[in-house]
A and B are shown apart, each in its own frame.
Chain A
Amino acid sequence: MTASVPTPSSDDVSVAFKGVSKHFGASGESGAFTALNNVDLNVARGSITGIIGRSGAGKSTLIRLVNGLEKPSNGKVLVDGVDVGALDEASLRNLRRSVGMIFQHFNLLSSRTVFGNVALPLEIAGMDRRAIEARVRPLLDLVGLADKHARYPAELSGGQKQRIGIARALATEPKLLLSDEATSALDPETTQSILELLKRINAELGLTVLLITHEMEVVKAVTSDVAVIDRGEIVEWGKTFDVFTHPKHETTRALLSGLPGSKLPDAVARGLKPAASAGDRAVVRLTFFGATAERPLISQLIKSVGAEVNIIAGTIDEIGGKPYGSLVVAYAADAETSARAERFFTENGLVTEVLGYVA
């Protein structure tokens, strides 16, 4: 799977996992299990890389290896070429000050104000009061919460808390930001605004972002690269656009099927048959991207197929900044119509998948 991805030179790599395994508990012991198995993965500098998997797939363990909150059982995790597992405690603390982290449940101190929370990593780094003040103010501006600096976390909404979490993670001016399910506790609208913020800081500060999530929506909205993890193994890895448009592994397909627009309406899904009988209609999914996504395909399809074409489900979207469309259509399943349709699909370079037949 990884063979299709060109190996970048080490200068372009922010984080590299090299044959990383992580076992919990001694083997043979009850409760012992393998969280990660021989993971190889490169996080490109300046990218927003997503790691997606179901819960228990090992993604939390994976992200915690990057800042040494967990140690690998085998293999190496390199951050800017430095082997995290080989660092002593003091060097590890220094490394952590150059890697920001945000969390699903924000993990803000309830006893500190907004200002105090963002100031915490700077106090830990031993910065003096005045320098802290000068650093924190612009960060609160950046996340749009300057007016809330004297408030306590309990007085803020979830989205505001995560903005504080982000400001706090950026306080030490890290080169890398780790996001541990940062939007999983937020509603969809707030999720979007937090993702926009992540995108902005990635673009404006040139920060590499490594995020883990179980939501394809998140991956689709912000990442440039994605790795799919399943039972401790990376099963697919590549540019987000390629993985979304040409998913190879069944886990990827299963995760993608949850996206809106990719699901068939229940009434159609129930009536779907694997083979056609006389008078049936074929249900076909068309996937198109790049230039094809911008052409008036439907009208052309109707013209060239010359029969009624129903649109059953569809979505047009952007993945990694590229237009992408998925359309499920139905047309008469007789040999003549099918042949015309297939010719049209081939001529236009459309990826098609026959989902089944309906009466």
Chain B
Amino acid sequence: MSPDLLLLIAKATFDTLRMVAIAGLIGSLIGLPIGIFLATSGRGELFPAPNINRVVGLIVNATRSTPFIILVVAIIPFTRLVTGTSIGTKAAIVPLTIATIPFFARLVEAAIRDIDKGLIEAARAMGATPTQIVFKVLLAEARPALTLALTMTIVSLIGYSAMVGAVGGGGLGDLGIRYGYQRFRPDVMLIVVVVLIVLVQLVQSAGDRLARRFDKRSRKN
């Protein structure tokens, strides 16, 4: 394998990591409060706003039910507005972020809804404000589940980031399509696939380990 090719693979891997990292960071930072809102704004909940809850839920569902590849194309005007271009790694970050937000928000919502209602009642009985309940009870108790949610989000993002390669997004997916597929280089395709598998494995096992460390619900330590 030529050094040029190795350089290409290294560059593509770096691009993928950069897209995943930035989209993952911004997407989950926006997705987290939306997820918290979805989980706490139903009727009779901490911040009751059932109508807004329904609207936000609708938007989240709409975004999630749009196939990613369609989303990428559909929001090109917005992408251009934000980054000034619609091709390349930088442009790919925009749809990746947009896709991450509702994905992570739903996972956050599920993680928080999973917490025993008795804990919320106990905190209310202590005189906690709704905000205190969110930070001291819900987020603290959901930490293992939130860690797994973030892990799952990053793994999905790695997959999505390969998909943006199809529309000139850069990264490993782009490399696989342009060299592996269009130039008939099965060796390149193989390497791209292997690198993606390794990335996913690393992220997943790091996430699992971290979640286990946060989880105090069993008697292991």
Contacts and interface: CB of A to CB of B under 8 A. Distances in A.
Do A and B actually bind? yes
A311 interface: no
B126 A109 contact: no
B127 A124 contact: yes
B137 interface: yes
Interface stretch (B76-84, B95-103, B117-125): B117-125
Contacts of B123: 120, 124
Contacts of B136: 120, 123-124
Nearest to A101: B125
Given A96-B127, A124-B132, A152-B216, A101 B140 contact: no
Interface string B108-145: 00000000101101111111110010001100110100
A121 B141 CA distance: 16
Q: Sort chain A's interface into a size bin.
A: 20 to 34
B218 interface: yes
A97 interface: yes
A97 B129 CA distance: 12
Contacts of A110: 141, 216-217
Contacts of B47: none
Contacts of A109: 119, 137, 140-141
Contacts, number: 69
B127 A69 contact: no
A214 interface: no
Contacts of B128: 93, 124
Given A101-B122, A107-B118, A124-B132, A94 B127 contact: yes
Nearest to A178: B125
Interface in A117-166: 120-121, 123-125, 152-155
Which among A67, A121, A124, A155 has the greatest number of chain B C-beta atoms within 10 A? A124
Contact of B126 (A97, A111, A153): A97
A84 to B, nearest CB: 13
B214 interface: yes
A124 B140 CA distance: 14
B47 to A, nearest CB: 12
A109 B71 CA distance: 41
A103 B127 contact: no
A18 interface: no
B183 interface: no
10 contacts: A69-B125, A95-B127, A96-B127, A105-B116, A110-B216, A111-B140, A123-B136, A124-B132, A125-B127, A155-B219
Q: Which 6 A-B pairs have the closest CB atoms?
A: A96-B127, A107-B122, A93-B127, A97-B127, A152-B216, A121-B126
Given A101-B126, A152-B216, 8 more contacts: A95-B127, A96-B126, A109-B141, A120-B126, A121-B126, A124-B132, A155-B219, A172-B126
